Structures are given as C-alpha cells and as structure tokens.
Amino acid sequence: MIVEHLAVARGGVPVLEGLSFRLVGGAALILRGPNGVGKTTLLRTLAGLQPALAGRVSVPGESIAYAAHADGLKAVLTVEENLRFWAAIHGTDSVEAALEAMDLRALRGRLAANLSAGQKRRLGLARLLVTGRSFWLLDEPTVSLDAGSVALFGSVVRAHLAGGGAALMATHIDLGLAEAGVLDLSPFRAKAPAAGGRVGAFDEAFG
C-alpha cells in the first residue's frame, strides 16, 4: 500500500494533509495522535468509504479488511451464524479457524445479544480472519478487551503478518508488536483556515 500526499477531511473540514507512507506485506504500522487528529477519518478514506481531498492511495484491489468502532454484529444471530455470513459474503470458508484463533469455540451457539462487550469485540475481530484479505485497517481494535484477549489478538496479528499480511492500526495500547512501526499523525494536521488552509476559498468566493 502506497500513500502519497494524502489529504483527508471530516464533515468538509480538512483534518490531515501531506501524508505519505508505504506499507508492505509482513509489516505493521501503528497510528498515534491525540483525539480528533483524524485517525478514524484516515482509515475510512483508505478503506474507500470516503473520498480523499487530495493525494493518491495505491492499493491492490479488494485487499482491504476494515474493522471499525462498530462490529457489524446482528444481535439475533448466533456467533457462528454471524461469522458464517461474513465468510459467505467474502467467499471464504475459514470460520472454524477464526473461532479457534479468537477463542470463541465455546460461545459458537450463543446469540450475539448475550455476549459481553469484550466477547463481541473478539467476534468482530474474528470477522477479519474470515475475510481472507491481506491489509487490515483496525480502528481501536483493543477497546473493551481484557489483558488476556489483547495478548491473544496480538498473536493473531503477528500470525497474519507472518503470513504476508499487513496491518495499519489506530491504538494507544501496546499489542506487544515490537516490530511495528509508529506513525505520529500530529505533524500532518491540516493548517487552520486562518493560516491559509483550503477553507479560505469559500471566503474569497462569498466575502
């Protein structure tokens, strides 16, 4: 994945600009930065859910798996049914391996409505494994996970990297990935409109 001079906006306001980086198979990159700096916006842009303001993102087609704050679970379906649905949508058949990897075997027949917050999160992360895609975009993946589950997820990510995959994650918790690079987003913060940012064009047109 190659990102060049990317600028992204949230609600029409530019939040990040001039961002360039490169992520290759087997590598992980951790996004850092204060709340509101644009981590989620960047991940949504890379996932193709919103257009970039400027710049270029080159990524092989259909290779991105995005895990947002919301897990996309249906409360009235069981753990296994939820996973089978996403596996069928992505045309893979690795449900058993995903259940095993995220320690969900014992919960397979339980309705998602009856899971704890941490168990729901584990199921949401297990969904990444059934997509069969190589670039993982993770938005705060460890929210509501306990220490044991964080370590478990760290090992899942490491196995994914060892298999040639890559991960870009916004997180403040140490996953135990010593090899992961860190990208601090603060220097790429978009300039305030008063300092000559792009909102100025609006004032020129109507001022």
Partner 1 sequence: MWALLTRDLRLAMRAGGGFGLGLAFFLLLAVLVPLGVGPEGGVLGAIAPGILWVGALLSCLLSLDRIFALDFEDGSLDLLATSPMPLEAVVAVKALAHWLVTGVPLTVVAPVLGVLLNLPGTGYGWLVLSLMLGTPALSVIGALGAALVVGVKRGGLLLSLLVLPLYVPTLIFGAEVVKRGAAGMEVSVPLLLLSGITLGAVALLPFAAAAAIRVNLR
Positions touching partner 1 (CB under 8 A) are 47-51, 62, 64-66, 68-77, 81, 84-86, 88-91, 127, 131
Which residue, 158 or 167, is less far from partner 1 as judged by CB?
A: 167
Q: Are 157 and 28 in contact (CB under 8 A)?
A: yes
Which residue, 81 or 96, is less far from partner 1 as judged by CB?
A: 81
The residues facing 184 across adjacent strands are 32
Which residue, 71 or 140, is less far from partner 1 as judged by CB?
A: 71
How far from chain centre, in Å, is Cα 10?
17
Which residue, 72 or 148, is less far from partner 1 as judged by CB?
A: 72
Give the C-alpha separation, 30 to 191, whole Å: 23
Length, in residues, of the chain: 207
- The least CB distance from residue 72 to partner 1, in Å, is 4
Q: Are 3 and 9 in contact (CB under 8 A)?
A: no
Give the C-alpha separation, 104 to 121, whole Å: 11
